[in-house]
Structure 1
Amino acid sequence: MKLNRTTQRTVEILKLISKTPEGATLDDICQKLDLPKTSAYDIVTTLGEMGMVNVTRGQKQNYTIGLMAYRIGVNYTNNLNFIGIIEPVLKAFSKEVGKTVFFGIPSDHHVVYICKFEPENPIITTATVGSKNPMYCTSLGKVILAYSDEENRDQIISRIRFTRYTERTIENREGLLAELEQVRERGYAFDAREMEEHMQCVGAPVFDRDGNVLGAISISSLYKPAEDYEALGTLVSRKGMEVSRLLGFLGKI
């Protein structure tokens, strides 16, 4: 994937300034990052206007990290605080069902695995903490899409490049939209051996206190024809709502 050079430079500048409490001048930025002065000036001027950096004017302008960047960092930290709340609940849930339990959050058109909880005798799963998979063929991703607002959902789906992993993988937008409608009707989603031939997963959404879909939890296990996956769906849906309540969600979906 081709990365945008201006965006890369912007991030590099912010990282440099954040590590320099006394601030950095334009000359410092250009020298340390090997950037053209014109390009660097345009970027820090824009960052200054947006509140991402503070500009102290003197013989040479000095740049320090701004309030907006701090607020973004605080929001990120706040979003991570909930992990400590849900971890013991999902760990106990994994032991209760005797299967691997995941918690994932959206990242563009992928889902990122943030937590993984395994029973005493876990099966081998390819998904690891920090890894990501496409939304359209994972139970986590499907429920996140199903409960996202329509505009955001359409934007995400427009960026998906459908790849066939097994003969059961959804292969187009129409098929995905039809499945998402079913997900909303029943309250949980399946990965019916769509990513891996031998794995079946069922997932349910987790909401924040404002009713926005924060992420999702799933139960993952080897496929067994005799398994009652609808019952597992009901179970994980209830657990998703329990976790949502712990995070302050009081409404109904």
Structure 2
Amino acid sequence: MKLNRTTQRTVDILKLISRSPEGATLDDLCEKLDLPKTSAYDIVTTLAEMGMVNVKRGQKQNYTIGLMSYRIGVNYTNNLNFIGTIEPILKAFAKEVGKTVFFGVPSDHHVVYICKFEPENPIITTATVGSKNPMYCTSLGKVILAYSEDEKREQMISRIKFTQFTERTIKDRDQLLKELEEVRERGYAFDAREMEEHMQCVGAPVFDRDGNVLGAISMSTLYKPVEDYEALGKLISQKAMEVSRLLGYLGKI
């Protein structure tokens, strides 16, 4: 069977970019894949228009894997029944705690919401399945950063542009690194009204069978001064560990 050369090159480009969290330039693609520059440019430009890759413009354009590629990957994951495995647990958990529960995964220096489970009387949240938010001001993103390997964490943090959403939003790298240390100490993270003034969230990491952070789960609630958020943190940590073990995680050796 004769294979289409452009299709092969497109797949090779996506594979290379997906393995490069820091991104790849056009020169990188041409050098590593031995491609003519005009052909590589036409392919990545088309991929960018389709949302398959993201483009960071600078002295040289830098390409990272796009949200559309991730959504396609999620569909594959769904077919493996990964979501089907955790869905009943998180759906029951949302009902038990009476709060909206999310499962999210990293995408570059953002977190993408893969699942959303609501109780019988849900609060209105702006996050929807498929949407993404910055890592540095979400409980999901903070635990993913905190438990990622050092090199990967540094790559993600280096791409963050700190924006103030509320007066409580983390302002810079040093403040973020200090908070990530606290997250690792207690095992869960807060979004202490950093994205929205009225919303408080708490999240904990989910690990795969190899002990790598796969994503995170969180619960969202309207901020209440009388709420015991530390207790909620411990509760969601237990649930995140239950989910991790369902996925084959046996604990750190």
Which whole-Å deviations, capped at 9, do the CAs of 1:81-131 have from their partners, x for residues lacking one? Answer: 311100000000000000000000000000000000000000000000000
Alpha carbons of structure 1 residues 39 and 144: separation in structure 2 relative to 1, 3 Å? same
Shift of 1:140: 0.1
Alignment of 1:184 onto 2:184: yes
The amino acid that maps onto 1:190 is F
Q: Which residue number in structure 1 is paired with residue 81 of structure 2?
A: 81
Which whole-Å deviations, capped at 9, do the CAs of 1:35-61 have from their partners, x for residues lacking one? Answer: xx97338999xxxxxxxxxxxxxxxxx
Which structure 2 segments of 5+ residues have no match?
1-5, 13-35, 44-71
- Helix, strand or coil at the partner of 1:39: helix
Q: Which residue number in structure 2 is paired with residue 39 of structure 1?
A: 38
Alpha carbons of structure 1 residues 41 and 192: separation in structure 2 relative to 1, 3 Å? closer
Superposed, 1:119-158 pairs within 5 Å as 119-158=119-158
Superposed, 1:216-235 pairs within 5 Å as 216-235=216-235
Q: Which residue number in structure 1 is paired with residue 239 of structure 2?
A: 239
Q: Which residue number in structure 1 is paired with residue 166 of structure 2?
A: 166
Q: Which residue number in structure 2 is paired with residue 103 of structure 1?
A: 103
Alpha carbons of structure 1 residues 198 and 78: separation in structure 2 relative to 1, 3 Å? closer
Shift of 1:175: 0.2
The amino acid that maps onto 1:165 is F
- Helix, strand or coil at the partner of 1:227: coil
The alignment covers a number of residue pairs equal to 196
TM-score (norm 2): 0.72
The amino acid that maps onto 2:133 is N
Alpha carbons of structure 1 residues 214 and 38: separation in structure 2 relative to 1, 3 Å? closer
Which whole-Å deviations, capped at 9, do the CAs of 1:14-41 have from their partners, x for residues lacking one? Answer: 59xxxxxxxxxxxxxxxxxxxxx97338
Cα contact 1:163–1:171 (8 A) shared by 2: yes
Provide the C-alpha distance between the structure 2 equivalents of 1:85 and 1:42, rounded to a whole number of angstroms. 40
Cα contact 1:10–1:43 (8 A) shared by 2: no
Cα contact 2:104–2:113 (8 A) shared by 1: yes
- Helix, strand or coil at the partner of 2:160: coil
| RMSD across aligned positions (CA) | 2.7
Identity between Structure 1 and Structure 2 (%)? 77
Q: Which residue number in structure 1 is paired with residue 55 of structure 2?
A: none
Shift of 1:252: 3.6
Which whole-Å deviations, capped at 9, do the CAs of 1:193-237 have from their partners, x for residues lacking one? Answer: 000000000000000000000000001010000000000000000
Q: Which residue number in structure 2 is paired with residue 197 of structure 1?
A: 197
Q: Which residue number in structure 2 is paired with residue 210 of structure 1?
A: 210
Which structure 1 segments of 5+ residues have no match?
1-8, 16-36, 45-72
Shift of 1:78: 4.5
Superposed, 1:3-42 pairs within 5 Å as 13-14=10-11, 39-40=38-39
Q: Which residue number in structure 1 is paired with residue 66 of structure 2?
A: none
TM-score (norm 1): 0.72
Shift of 1:251: 1.2
The amino acid that maps onto 2:237 is S
